[in-house]
Amino acid sequence: MASFGKQRIMGRVIVLIILIVAIAIGGLFWFDYLGLLDAKAFFSPALRLVKIPTRSGQALPEDLPTLLIDERLAKRLEAMEIMRTELAEQEKTLQEKQAAIEAMAIEVDDRAKDLEEKEISLRQVLNRYENRKENIEQNAKYLTSMPPADAVKILEASDDQTVIDTLRAVEELALKAGEASLVPFWLSKMDSDRAARLQRKMNEKPISDD
């Protein structure tokens, strides 16, 4: 009985070994089918005996299961590369546009500063003009209120443009008050050459130089 039991155990062991070998060989051929291993090349002598085709170093068949995956992966990689290139070009375009906008902003800022400076300069000129006009009108009032001889002395000591502006202011004040202007009388008391030059300038330039 003991020997019979040992024979049964040995039989099971042999069967298990054969089963394991068969599974191993089947796994190798499955990996070979998936393209992970080249099992047919290893078993090529035995496979040729049973007339099973083996690999001959040629390209893998087009229906290989992993070929479709490889193609999809290659297409995805290609699409990603195209996308990366497009993003790089878009970034470059955005940088160029940003640089152009910054340049325009600087130009606009410079123009705004230039206009502001011109406005300040014009305001200063207008202020000077208004101040001078007020001073001329005030001087015209003073001259009108003093004796003619004294007024003539002051006019003769002034430059031509100041005298012209003052005489015009005196005429305007007389016109507003409805009175006779003292300008003709003052000119008659001044040096004849100076008086003639002033009258000529007043006729040539009805508007003040300042």
Q: Range of 166's domain?
A: 126-204
In a domain, residue 42? The reply is yes
The enclosing domain of 184 has a CATH number of: 1.25.60.10
Residue 54 and residue 48 in contact, taking contact as beta carbons nearer than 8 Å: yes
Tens-place pLDDT, residues 135-152: 888 888 888 888 989 989
- Structurally, how many domains does the chain consist of? 2
Would 16 be classed as within a structural domain? no
For residue 93, give the amino acid letter: T
Which pLDDT score is estimated for 117? 87
> Which of 56, 77, 103 represents a domain boundary (last residue)?
56
Given 56, 76, 96, the domain boundary residue is 56
pLDDT digits 0-9 by tens, 152-182: 999 888 898 889 999 999 999 899 888 888 8
2 in a structural domain: no
User: How many other CB atoms are found less than 10 A from the CB of residue 156?
Assistant: 14
Q: Quick check: is 141 in a domain?
A: yes
Does residue 167 lie in a domain region? Answer: yes
In a domain, 74, yes or no: no
Q: Is the pTM of this model over 0.85?
A: no
- 114 pLDDT band, cuts 50/70/90, is confident
In a domain, 120, yes or no: no
Q: Which amino acid is at 56?
A: S
Residue 35 domain-assigned? yes
Question: Residue 43 in 3-state DSSP?
Answer: coil
**170 CB burial (10 A radius; 0-12, 13-18, 19+):** buried
Domain C-terminal end among 40, 56, 72: 56
Query: What does the block give as tokens for 85?
Result: 């290139």
